Structure 1
């Protein structure tokens, strides 16, 4: 069978053999989302990187196997997910032979197509993706570039897919993911303030979790813009308006924009090293 025919056949069907190189938090989330409670779980081949997590997943899910090395992962898989840390990319990937009929999904932040193609020396299709931890529950939309039928179907199964037109847009989405832990730190600060007012720590956290779980549910209504949601939760001259206008003021908003600009510049810097 010719190479192009083999590639077409892979794309026409659901991918049945998935490889994961780099089994950290995101690798674990992808495997869990694929295998936990699904009735059509593919075979999954894991690299020995992250040995403890790989062994745990292999013991938990019948279709998951730990390979002897990264080359075996590639050889056994139709779709290969590269999830190593950016700073480990050369050590993990240099020298791998990746046939052109494989599909490679790159989830390393800040590693562009051109660089990864040079490292792998392959003409296989490359797709960048931003899976988030909630993919383990099949509840997270994954940004991809470029669009690819097999990859789009893969992430659609895991909560949804958002293909974008170019790497500039992809990098902007990647920068947005850098705000995640800021939200948790914001809630922790609110809880700490409540404790300072004499409220028990457990009560403060329980209340805040319920309060912001409600916010999360309201975000599920995509017919309502974010500005509209804010307005709907705010009474003129009320408590919410007061905190928004006195704390999240124009200077605070501009500082956030500047922080995102700096992160985006770093993500687009060739050869830069990703901070943990």
Structure 2
């Protein structure tokens, strides 16, 4: 199988890295030259990877084309390309629907939407796919926890939740910075916080039959430190703000809001 990547950003780079360590590595990968440093690095690391002359060269040399361009660049980038009816297109573009993509890649009739995250480079994390089956499972089945969704609406909702990645690290930064302000050495603060969050995430995966609300209770000894901080965060509306923020992101996914919309405007 020959796989091409139009767009060589963080996600495309992570997927290429994962593919080259999987049990079903493609015979050839062609990457876009748009991000020259990332493209050349991939070609140097993996003998199966070559850098295309341009995006059309990537398309011409591939059976499966993964679209990893930014949403704001997608219309112009894809409209300039010529696809074949026998090709398969897999889109990583968050705000472009199946219909949007299908229109831009005609006459190609086989289109999937996939949501890989940066940890896919280490073959970790969920990979939401729609529709399920076929080439998409062949390509991504060995790269993480494949989540086959029921419909495009469910895919958009799950995709919205990925907007929490930066906030996840921002929360860790807040805890680590506070530790440093209390005279804990920076390297120890970072290791302690990262290791704690890693262990808690592992608990969530190991106890899939226990919902998160119950896990919160299980980790909040009555009258203890965790119960106190959780109470204060709840009182301040922190958890409600997370859900309101996710609702805003979902509205953006549906084309009902933009980057400049805020929760303050909604309220």
Tell me whether the two structures share a fold, i.e. TM-score over 0.5.
Answer: yes
Q: Does the 8 Å CA contact 1:85/1:108 hold for their aligned counterparts?
A: yes
Say if 1:39 and 1:156 are closer, same or farther in 2 by CA, change over 3 A: closer
> What is the alpha-carbon distance in structure 2 between the residues aligned to residue 258 and residue 146 of structure 1?
28
> What is the alpha-carbon distance in structure 2 between the residues aligned to residue 147 and residue 54 of structure 1?
29
> What is the alpha-carbon distance in structure 1 between the residues aligned to residue 239 and residue 256 of structure 2?
28
Q: Does the 8 Å CA contact 2:176/2:186 hold for their aligned counterparts?
A: yes
TM-superposed CA distance for 1:273, in Å, is: 7.0
Tell me what 2:212 maps to.
226
Tell me what 1:243 maps to.
229
Instruction: Count matched residues.
Output: 259
Tell me what 2:57 maps to.
72
- What is the TM-score with the length of structure 2 in the denominator? 0.90
Tell me what 1:54 maps to.
39
SS at match of 1:154: helix
Matched, 1:268 2:262: no
Backbone CA RMSD of aligned residues: 2.0
TM-superposed CA distance for 1:271, in Å, is: 10
SS at match of 1:129: strand
Tell me what 1:213 maps to.
198
Gaps of 5+ in 1: 1-15
Matched, 1:152 2:137: yes
The structure with higher relative contact order (CA 8 Å, sep 6+) is 1
Q: Does the 8 Å CA contact 2:4/2:65 hold for their aligned counterparts?
A: yes
Tell me what 1:4 maps to.
none
Say if 1:173 and 1:39 are closer, same or farther in 2 by CA, change over 3 A: closer
SS at match of 2:237: helix
Detail structure 1 runs of 4+ shifted over 4 Å in the superposition. 270-275
TM-superposed CA distance for 1:274, in Å, is: 10
Q: Does the 8 Å CA contact 1:41/1:63 hold for their aligned counterparts?
A: no
> What is the alpha-carbon distance in structure 2 between the residues aligned to residue 206 and residue 142 of structure 1?
28
Tell me what 1:253 maps to.
239
Say if 1:39 and 1:50 are closer, same or farther in 2 by CA, change over 3 A: same
Taking the TM superposition and a 5 Å limit, the aligned residue runs for 1:118-197 are 118-197=103-182
Matched, 1:18 2:3: yes
